[in-house]
Structure 1
Amino acid sequence: MKIRISSSTTFDSIVDGPGLRMVVWTQGCIHNCKECHNPQTHDLCGGYEEDTQKIIDKIKTLKLQRGITLSGGEPFLQQEALEEIAKEAKSNKLDVWTYTGFTLEYLLDITNPTRFKNLNLLKQIDVLVDGKFEIEKKDFTLKFRGSSNQRIIDVQKTLKYKKIILVEEYMQEELFEAK
């Protein structure tokens, strides 16, 4: 399967999720957030096509990385290819973070005829950073996100409990339970 990516894979990111991470930079975005830090990823025909097997082969070589991050661009414009990549990451005991300009509510809204029909990628994602970057809400003190409207969501717990579970809330609960 082919995927359109904007640049070569990053193997040693420490800002796109916790720990050392491999980042897959997807090409193509429809959000056009003002002052986006990756404007070169917006063109749907930009970047270049890569075979997903090449990315999977790279995942199999990872040794120090805690996980992979799917970023872009807009990853949900290439769900099928990223689902294949995320499955391989999970089978290699790596966590999967994904950044999207969509909200999780939008992605899950079955009454919305324009939403995506195949949401199998969500089943492979551990953490979703959702929402468009909003320059008016930019905050340098935020960890793993650029603006305060963006949320860091525990996807699997959210799907299980059918309500949004933020990673911060979950981490606080774990800390309290440990005492």
Structure 2
Amino acid sequence: MKYSLMRKFDVTNGPGIRSTIFVSGCTHNCEGCFNEDLQSFDYGTEWDLKAEKEFISFVENPVVVGVNILGGEPLQQTMDDSLVNLLEKLKTKFPDKSIWLWTGDTFEDAILNEKKFKIIKYCDVIIDGKFELENRNIKLKYRGSKNQRVIDVLKSLETGTTVTFDVD
């Protein structure tokens, strides 16, 4: 896995002060993508133990309430176990800090894919759906177009139906 950026403190993506990683690589090719450079799987820096330790040190800060995983496309980071391993460590070490993930996949499709589900099961909230330029709405919280949903992963998996997360 490669990543383009880590943010120690992020107040834009998700509620509260959060630590964020932007992974590289995406095949969705959404028109109007705000991270077009991150579509290349070769863009950025190779994820390694040093990067992992640095990111975990960001999350250790008591002001940080959670983690954001954006891209690129996090659910396409299945060429190795870097992202799965990171999420497992974060969830184990910081069970009270929520993990939010943005994907162009729909939740219903993604949970049927074994490799993607390995990532999803460590997330608390997923913002799903491709960005649609014709549905762009800058007034929406945590998403760019009105087709995208903010999903409560735990409740959705418990109930077997997609449950949206109240962001207002």
Distance 2:53 2:101 in 1: 17
What amino acid does structure 2 have at the position aligned with 1:145?
A: R
Which residue is equivalent to 1:42?
Answer: 39
Matched, 1:134 2:136: no
Instruction: For residue 54 of structure 1, report the CA deviation from its aligned partner.
Output: 2.8
Identity %: 32
Question: Which amino acid in the other structure matches residue 88 of structure 1?
Answer: K
Q: How does 1:1-179 map to 2 (within 5 A)?
A: 3-7=1-5, 9-52=6-49, 54-60=51-57, 61-79=60-78, 80-90=81-91, 91-92=93-94, 93-109=96-112, 115-117=113-115, 119-168=117-166
Residue 55 (structure 1) shift: 2.1
Between the aligned partners of 1:131 and 1:97, the Cα distance in structure 2 is: 14
RMSD: 1.8
Give the CA deviation at 1:57: 4.3
SS of the residue 2:121 aligns to: helix
- Contact 2:110 2:116 survives alignment (8 Å): no
Is residue 75–residue 116 contact of structure 2 (8 Å, CA) maintained in 1? no
Deviation, structure 1 residue 58: 3.0
Q: Distance in 2 between matches of 1:53 and 1:96?
A: 21
Aligned length: 162
Q: State the structure with more CA Rg.
A: 1
For residues 121-160 of structure 1, the C-alpha deviation after alignment (integer angstroms, 9 at most, x for no partner) is 1110000000000010011110000000000000011001
2:29 aligned counterpart, secondary structure: coil
| Equivalent-residue separation in structure 2 for 1:59 and 1:145 (angstroms) | 25
The one-character-per-residue Cα deviations of 1:30-82 (angstroms, maximum 9, x if unpaired) are 01111111111001222120215532443244221110101000001114322
Q: Which amino acid aligns with 2:101?
A: T
The answer to whether the Cα contact below 8 Å between 2:47 and 2:82 also exists between their aligned partners in 1 is no
Which shows bigger deviation, 24-33 or 89-98?
Answer: 89-98
Return the TM-score normalized by structure 2: 0.88
Aligned residues of 1:67 and 1:89 also touching (Cα < 8 A): no
